[in-house]
Amino acid sequence: MTDHTVRLHRVLRCPPEKIYRAFTDAGAMAKWLPPHGFICAVDHFDARVGGTFRMSFRNFGSGQAHSFGGEYVELVPNERLRYTDRFDDPNLPGTMEVTVLLKPVICGTDVSITQAGIPTSIPLEMCYLGWQESLEQLAALVEPDIPG
């Protein structure tokens, strides 16, 4: 993988609407997106095409934080999201683009995620590991069918 892109795939036991909402709700993002051992603070969140967001992840153990922000490029409710990410740290240059595709399947939703343009100083294995942890937390948030 020389293009510094990660591709992820999961099937979650819930309808696409819940997953889409988890990507467009600030409180939900703060709950599921940070990998294990990190706390998320959302500074700004405007989930609409052209809208922007800013947040930071703080390592609970060391207290070290990194902040980032981006812009929503495409939002097709319950089907597709595309947004950019850019770290504030000048040592992590460039703009990443995340594409999320949601497809209903017989047992829930097929979720495909592509993150392109990852800074070369970030090992792709670390991105995969972080995303896998985030997707575990996403499943824990969206799969329960809690009445009322």
Give, in degrees to the nearest 5, the angle at Cα 132 between 130 and 137: 95
2 pLDDT more than 60: no
Q: How far is CA 50 from CA 9, 53, 75, 116, in A?
A: 26, 10, 10, 19
User: Are 112 and 8 contacting, i.e. CB atoms less than 8 angstroms apart?
Assistant: yes
- Residue closest to 17 by CA, chosen among 98, 108, 115: 108
Q: pLDDT tens digit string along 43-98?
A: 999 999 999 999 999 999 999 999 999 999 999 999 999 999 999 998 888 999 99
3-state secondary structure at position 11: strand
Q: How many angstroms separate the Cα of 95 from the Cα of each of 25, 99, 106?
A: 22, 13, 36
pLDDT value at residue 105: 98
Q: pLDDT band at 3, cuts 50/70/90? A: confident
Q: Which two tokens stand for residue 93?
A: 């240059």
Query: Which one has a higher pLDDT value, 139 or 1?
Result: 139
Quick: pLDDT tens for 107-126: 999 999 999 999 999 999 99
Distance CA 102, CA 135 (A): 14
Please give the structure tokens belonging to residue 32: 């599921």
3-class secondary structure, 27: helix
Please say whether the beta carbons of 127 and 107 come within 8 A. Answer: no
Question: In this structure, what token pair is assigned to residue 88?
Answer: 């504030």
Mind listing the pLDDT tens digit for each residue in 7-32? Answer: 999 999 999 999 999 999 999 999 99
